[in-house]
Amino acid sequence: MDIDTLTTLANKSHVVFRGGFAVTQADKVPEHSDGDAAGTLLLFGQAGNALWPSFSQSPEYDDGEPHPMDRWSERVGRNMADSLNGQLLLPFGGPVHHPFLSWAIKAESLTSSRLGMLMHPIHGLWHAYRFAISLKESVSGLGEPPEPRDICSSCVDEPCLSTCPVNAFDGQSYDVQACAAHLRANPNGPCLMQGCMARDACPEGLPSRYASEQRKFHMRQFMIAMQQRNQD
C-alpha cells in the first residue's frame, strides 16, 4: 500500500486523501473489530469543490432525509474501508467521539484560525474531514508534515472578525446562539443565502472557496441542526 494507490482510490470516490500517520497509543485510534491494533490512520475529506459535484447528484442529497452529507460520507467511506480491508471511523454520530482535530493536525500542516476552524496552508478555511480509515498495516510514503505556519498571526486587518453582523466571533470563541438567532431572523439575508460571511471574508485559500450552492447547503444544514437541538 502506498500514497499513490490511496490518492487514486480517493479520486475515484470523489473525496480527497488528506494524509495519514503511523498510529501510537496516544492517538486513541480504536482497535479493529477482531482485537488487532491499528497500524496506520488515513484521513479523507473535501478541499475546495472536489466533493460537491458527486455529492449534489447523489441519492442522499435530495431524498429529504436528515444529515445527507453525513450519510453520503458514511456510504462512500464504508465502501473505501471495505476495499482497503480497513476500519471506518466517522467524525459524527457517537458515542464514541473520535479526536479528528488532533488526527488532522498530526496528518497535515494546520493551525487554528481566528474562527476556530483549522487553517490549511493552501485551502485556507475551505476544507473538511469526512471520515478516517484505520489499517492494520503500514503505508509507504507517509511522513511528518511540514512545520505549520501561523497564517492568522500575519493578517493585520482580520476581516473574519469584523464582518459577522452579530460579532459572533471574537478570535477566541464562537457565540453559536447569536449566530443561529440572526439566521432565524434573516432567512433571506446574505449569511444564509451566500454562506458564512466571516468565513468568506478570510483572504486565504480563495481558489478553493466553495461554490455558492455548497456554501448555502452547509448553512442550511447548520440551521436544521440548531432547530433539532432546540427541540431536544
Residue 49 above 70 pLDDT?
A: yes
- E-strand ranges in 92-178 read 111-112, 118-119, 127-135
Q: pLDDT per residue over 125-177, tens digit each?
A: 999 999 999 999 999 999 889 999 999 999 999 999 999 999 999 999 999 99
Average pLDDT over residues 193-201: 95
> What is the structure's pLDDT at 228?
78
Q: pLDDT per residue over 63-80, tens digit each?
A: 999 999 999 999 999 999
What span, in angstroms and rounded, lies between the C-alpha atoms of 131 and 15? 10
Q: Are 148 and 93 in contact (CB under 8 A)?
A: no
Confidence of residue 232 (pLDDT cuts 50, 70, 90): low
> What is the structure's pLDDT at 226?
86
pTM here is 0.94
Average pLDDT over residues 90-101: 92
Q: Which are the contacts of 117, defined by CB distance < 8 A and separation ≥ 6? A: 125, 199
Prior bond to 95 cis, omega within 30? yes
Residue 95 above 90 pLDDT?
A: no
Query: What percentage of the chain's residues is helix, strand, coil (to nearest 5)?
Result: 40, 15, 45
Residue 4 above 80 pLDDT?
A: yes
Residue 115 above 70 pLDDT?
A: yes
